[in-house]
């Protein structure tokens, strides 16, 4: 395969509401740094394209969709980024004009909270109230002695419906499954989940209440099920941290491994390895790959990494466990 890792290739696709554009590495100098990891926070990547025409620059706008495919002419290419453009700058650097694009993978929902459109309906309750009649009701009755007795009714008791002060919360009843809560959160946020596979679909016997950030509570429920939520090539995935996508790929010196993996520990004391290779589009968040090196051999899951393209580098850096 080593002979196939020549002829670097990358395409950038931009599509907006009106225009679409396609930029190719063979015709334009471009750079990018595409980050990926297995937490729920959307990653920010950067793309720089040099010396675009005014027409092309005008088609790269905030809010447009963007995708990058990369690889090699013989080995093929694959998607390494899908997201939304969050910012665009055009600057001169000597004779070059550089268009720098910021890209967010997926959507950030952390600011969306329970409000009047999603909260429980206000609770009704009833009270008894005495009200004065506009016109008193007068009745007459006779006593045993035959005297006439007058009775005047000036008030009457009515039932009035009132509402308790509405709390900004969403309540789920007893014995609600986690999957029900997760789907409600996703639907309310407008989040599209491509994979939902919970190791345990925990049941909340006493019910569950969401207040504040909907995404934060959703992540809490996911965690309680022994799962994690993250973006993979722009798509939201919810499943066990131990589960991944088998790429059926072995990373070795022959397939682009540049250095022997470096061993370290993460914040939880778990053994991890930092790896560098020639850019490999098959590698993404939660990819299951094999590594064959002088010091490390085995099957690993990709935790995080970045694809880098610049004047000298066309590489993928990754952390596996």
Q: Which of 100, 103, 102 is nearest to 52 (CA)?
A: 100
| Sequence-ordered list of residues with C-beta below 8 angstroms from that of 113, at least 6 positions apart, any chain | 168, 212, 213, 214
Per-residue pLDDT reduced to its tens digit, 71-128: 999 999 999 999 999 999 999 999 999 999 999 998 889 899 999 999 999 988 889 9
pLDDT of residue 139: 87
| Sequence-ordered list of residues with C-beta below 8 angstroms from that of 318, at least 6 positions apart, any chain | 274, 275, 277, 283, 302, 303, 304, 305, 306
Helical packing angle, 214-224 and 178-189, nearest 10° = 150
> Is residue 32 a contact partner of residue 68, using CB atoms and an 8 Å limit?
yes
For residues 5 and 277, what is the distance between their CA atoms, to the nearest angstrom? Answer: 11
pLDDT of residue 144: 81
For residues 127 and 310, what is the distance between their CA atoms, to the nearest angstrom? Answer: 73
Beta-sheet pairing, 193-196 with 235-239: parallel
For residues 224 and 177, what is the distance between their CA atoms, to the nearest angstrom? Answer: 12
Residue 214 DSSP code: H
State the first-to-last Cα distance of the chain, in angstroms, to the nearest integer.
Answer: 25
Per-residue pLDDT reduced to its tens digit, 169-178: 999 999 999 9
For residues 103 and 67, what is the distance between their CA atoms, to the nearest angstrom? Answer: 9
pLDDT of residue 149: 85
Of 147-151, 245-249, 311-315, the range with the lowest mean pLDDT is 147-151
Other C-beta atoms lying within 10 Å of the C-beta of residue 159: 8
Per-residue pLDDT reduced to its tens digit, 205-222: 999 999 999 999 999 999
Average per-residue pLDDT for the chain: 94
In terms of C-beta density within 10 A (0-12 exposed, 13-18 middle, 19 or more buried), how is residue 173 classed?
Answer: exposed
> Is residue 215 a contact partner of residue 236, using CB atoms and an 8 Å limit?
no
Q: Is the pLDDT of residue 2 over 70?
A: no
Q: Is the pLDDT of residue 184 over 70?
A: yes
255: left (phi over 0), alpha (psi -120 to 50) or beta: alpha
> Is residue 277 a contact partner of residue 250, using CB atoms and an 8 Å limit?
no
pLDDT of residue 4: 65
Helix (H) or strand (E) holding 103: strand 96-104
**Distances from the Cα of 217 to the Cαs of 104, 221, 224, 269, 298, in angstroms?**
22, 6, 11, 27, 36
Q: Which of 159, 10, 4, 163 is nearest to 79 (CA)?
A: 10
Per-residue pLDDT reduced to its tens digit, 137-148: 988 888 888 788
Residue 218 DSSP code: H
pLDDT of residue 148: 84
Per-residue pLDDT reduced to its tens digit, 9-64: 999 999 988 899 999 999 999 999 999 999 988 999 999 999 999 999 999 999 99
């Amino acid at each position: 395969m080593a002979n196939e890792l020549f002829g670097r290739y990358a395409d950038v696709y931009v599509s907006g509401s009106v225009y679409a554009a396609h930029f190719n590495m063979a015709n334009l100098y471009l750079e990018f740094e595409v980050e990926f990891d297995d937490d729920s926070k959307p990653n920010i990547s950067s793309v720089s394209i040099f010396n675009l025409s005014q027409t092309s620059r005008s088609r790269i706008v905030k809010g447009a969709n963007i995708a990058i495919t990369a690889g090699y002419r013989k080995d093929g290419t694959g998607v390494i980024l899908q997201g939304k453009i969050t910012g665009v700058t055009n600057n001169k650097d000597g004779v070059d004009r550089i268009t720098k694009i910021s890209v967010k993978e997926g959507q950030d929902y952390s600011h969306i909270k329970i409000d009047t459109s999603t909260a429980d309906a206000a609770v009704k309750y009833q009270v008894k109230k005495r009200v004065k009649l506009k016109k008193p009701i007068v009745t007459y009755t006779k006593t045993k002695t035959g005297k006439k007795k007058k009775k005047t009714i000036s008030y009457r008791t009515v039932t009035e419906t009132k509402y308790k002060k509405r709390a900004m919360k969403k309540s789920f009843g007893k014995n609600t499954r986690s999957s029900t809560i997760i789907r409600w959160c996703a639907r309310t946020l407008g989040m599209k989940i491509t994979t939902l596979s919970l190791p345990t679909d925990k049941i909340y016997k006493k019910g569950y209440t969401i207040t504040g950030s909907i995404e934060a509570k959703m992540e809490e429920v996911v965690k309680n099920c022994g799962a994690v939520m993250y973006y993979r090539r722009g798509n939201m995935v919810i499943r066990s941290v131990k589960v991944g996508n088998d790429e059926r790929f072995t990373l070795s010196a022959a397939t682009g491994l540049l250095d022997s993996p470096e061993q370290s520990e993460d914040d939880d004391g778990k053994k991890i390895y930092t790896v560098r290779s020639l850019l490999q589009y098959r590698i993404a968040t939660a990819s299951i790959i094999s590594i064959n090196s002088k010091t490390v051999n085995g099957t690993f899951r990709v935790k995080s990494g970045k694809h880098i393209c610049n004047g000298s580098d066309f590489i993928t850096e990754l952390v596996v466990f």
